[in-house]
Amino acid sequence: MIRLPDNTPDRHRPQRTETATEALERRVLQELSRRTPSPDLTRTIMGRLGYMKAAPQVVRRRRIRRWINRLSLCALALIVVAGGAQVHESGPHARRPRGPTIPAAIGNDVNLHQQRIKGTIRMIRTLAPAAPSRPDDVLDEEVDRSAIGPFRWL
């Protein structure tokens, strides 16, 4: 008969005279309850939970990396949203207004005013006296310079 350790639970102790197969089965199951040494994972788990102190440089590097990750994620999200909106707007399913929109109306109004102002400027230019046909440096010597000017004929 095999001598069982003192801490063997009752469930692993033979209840009656057992056959060889039963004894083997019991030993197999008893072997299962034997203590299995495990690697010490305490430090790793504590580290993952944020309980392990890290060097200031490491902390700073991690913080920078975290911010870079966040910013790139935001940028990526913005690009995706903008791209999506662009695709949607250019697609056939985009809802378009029937009449003119407010920005279009403002644009038209600005254009109209621009045209009017241009017209006014053009009209003012036509009213102004014509510029001399030749530049000053090519005028004849005998021409009286004081005669040139808008006040000569007034």
Partner 1 sequence: MMMKRSIERELIRQAKSGDGRAIEALIRAHQEALFAFILRMSGRPHVAEDIVQEAFVRVLKNLDRFDTRFRFSTWLFTIAKRLYVNASQKQRPMYDTDAVSIQQGTTQAPVRLSARAEIMNNMRDLIDVALGELNDRQREIILLFHQQNWPIAVIARHLSMPEGTIKSHLHRARKRMKRSIMADHTLQARAEEVWA
Greatest alpha-carbon span in the chain = 151
Indicate whether 6 belongs to the interface with partner 1 (CB under 8 A).
no
Of 19 and 146, nearer to partner 1 (C-beta) is 19
Report how many residues bind partner 1 under the rule CB under 8 A: 30
Q: Given CA atoms 87, 92, 93, 94 in this order, what sign does their dihedral have? A: positive
Q: Contacts with partner 1 in 29-48 (CB under 8 A)?
A: 29-42, 44-46, 48
Three-state DSSP string of 12-64: HCCCCCCCHHHHHHHHHHHHHCCCCCCCCCHHHHHHHCCCCCCCHHHHHHHHH
CB of 60 to partner 1, least distance (A): 23
Residue closer to partner 1 (CB basis): 17 or 146: 17
> Which chain residues interact with partner 1 by CB under 8 A?
9, 11-12, 20-21, 23-25, 27-42, 44-46, 48-49, 51
